[in-house]
Amino acid sequence: MEKRQIQDTELWVSPFGLGTADAGVAWKEEDADRIFGTYLESGGNLIDTAHVYSDWIPPETARSERVIGDWLTKTKKRNEIVLVTKGGHPSMLGEKPDMHQSRMGRDDMVKDLDSSLMKLRTDHIDLYFYHRDDVRIPVEETIEVMEDFVKQGKIRYYGCSNWTPKRMKEADRYCREKGYRGFIADQMLFNYGSRYMKAMADDTLCIMDDEVYRYHDENRRNLVMPYMGICSGFFHSYEKKGEEAVKESPYYTEKNLQAAGRLEMLKEKYSANTTQILLGFFTVQDFPCVPLYGTGKPERIREAAEAFAIPFEKADFE
């Protein structure tokens, strides 16, 4: 896979990042080692995690970071990857986590970052994200916290996840005034089926709508890094098990059932599988995209890598 440079940075990244929310859960230790190794062998170099992965499964916290840290220690591969993690997510501990209970203050971010560095067993994070936003905190304060981390050498660059265009524009203006590089990447829910899905139960998630799309079309320095890149398996389940298997999914809409039919046509046109078509969607956008994709099967990593050699056309997805 041919790597691309994130604009105005020293980071070169592969066309898709490896999502690791399942590391240490669905992926056991030996499975995780094979998945990480296969991803690197396939040309990948962007490994994405978060300090909150997967705190919703007790008793261990920051499990994904710990598993990645174990692998980095065993393999000495730290210098071969762009390491991404996120902090400031609402606590997922307890029976009913409150997604609106902000943890984005300076003290929380310092605590999360220091713990992430320890779990990952590294002295710096290449790309560190605010995992949510709190509009009650002036954007100037949020930026200065990240700039302090940069000055301390704890992170190289920073980004935002689940921020609105309004807040990102405010951050961009402040960074221009101060001469900061600012956000280099933005993570949001964006995929082949997101345009026509129902509202998500978690309203703190930001979905790629027309306003977000326009923002990124006009602000190419903020790389689009979508999560849920393969639509949470909706199209895979529909294809294998039929309509009854997906009726509870937020992707279950008439438009997405029509989109499933379109997928079948594209699979035949390109002799590709469903995952490759869904990842191919990101290659024809009006701005650069580096989607995140996680799987517990090494062979699917290899298939995903092959998607970026397929000459998809924008008209395929219209």
Cα-based distances in Å from 209 to 46, 190, 194, 196, 202: 25, 9, 9, 10, 16
**Percent of the chain at pLDDT above 90?**
97
Tens-digit pLDDT profile for residues 113-156: 999 999 999 999 999 999 999 999 999 999 999 999 999 999 99
User: 109: closest CA among 66, 144, 63, 71?
Assistant: 144
Q: What is the mean pLDDT of residues 85-112?
A: 95
pLDDT at 29: 81
Domains and CATH numbers, the chain: 4-232+278-317 (3.20.20.100)
Neighbours of 116 (CB within 10 A): 24
Could you please report the per-residue DSSP string of 159-182?
Answer: EEES--HHHHHHHHHHHHHHT---
Q: Say whether pLDDT at 186 is over 90.
A: yes
pLDDT at 318: 86
pLDDT at 115: 98
pLDDT at 28: 86
9: confidence class by pLDDT, cuts 50, 70, 90:
very high
Q: Say whether pLDDT at 219 is over 90.
A: yes
CA–CA–CA angle 19, 134, 120 (5° rounding): 35
pLDDT at 70: 96
The answer to whether 130 touches 101, Cβ cutoff 8 Å, is no
Q: Say whether pLDDT at 252 is over 90.
A: yes
Q: What is the mean pLDDT of residues 220-240?
A: 97
Tens-digit pLDDT profile for residues 293-314: 999 999 999 999 999 999 999 9
pLDDT at 30: 85
Cα-based distances in Å from 198 to 20, 76, 144, 194, 247: 25, 43, 36, 8, 12
CA–CA–CA angle 107, 110, 113 (5° rounding): 145
**Percent of the chain at pLDDT above 70?**
100
Instruction: Please report the sign of the dihedral spanned by the C-alpha atoms of residue 175, residue 159, residue 194, residue 90.
Output: negative
